[in-house]
Each structure stands twice: as C-alpha cells, then as structure tokens.
Amino acid sequence: MNTRAWIVFLDESGVSLLPQIRRTYAPRGRTPLLRHRLNWKRASMAGALGYHSTDPERGARLCFHLKPGSYDTAALIEVLE
C-alpha cells in the first residue's frame, strides 16, 4: 500500500474586476456620470484541501492559489502538483 497517498478536494472560482456601483450622486437636474474602465478583466482563485490517507493525525493541509485571468486544465494540474 502506498503510504504517501493524499485525498484532495479542489475548487476553482472566478471573479470579475468590474466595479459594483450601487449608488451615485449628482446635483439636481444633472445626470450622474459613472467613469470606470470596461476592460472585463478577471481573477481566478483555486483552493485545495488535502488529507493524508493513512495518517489522519497529520491534519488537513490547505493550499490556495490566485491567478489573473482564467484557469485552464494545465494550470489546475500545476496547482495540484
């Protein structure tokens, strides 16, 4: 039996970097102007929680990775390694 085996739970999530403008202000009779860059940039996060399969006393290990843009399969495999 391989004693170096780990059980890993991985999750990936992405967020948009566009500002969330909820309210604004302008003098009465003037339309408010909202200025921001519409570049649709994204950031992605991946988190992995690992448990040692034969030694539960080692406790869980948490790994966290941030990346500009989106993940592809190769990038997620790199996070796992």
Position 2 scores a pLDDT of 61
Contact in structure between 62 and 47 (CB atoms under 8 Å):
yes
Position 63 scores a pLDDT of 86
Give CA–CA dist 24/35, Å, rounded.
Answer: 11
Q: What is the pLDDT along the chain (81 residues), one digit of tens a residue?
A: 667 788 889 899 988 877 776 677 888 999 887 776 666 788 899 998 988 877 778 888 898 889 888 888 888 888 877
Question: Looking at this protein, which amino acid is placed at residue 58?
Answer: R
> Which residue, 58, 52, 16, 23, is CA-closest to 37?
16
Instruction: Parse the chain into domains and list their residue ranges.
Output: 1-13+40-81
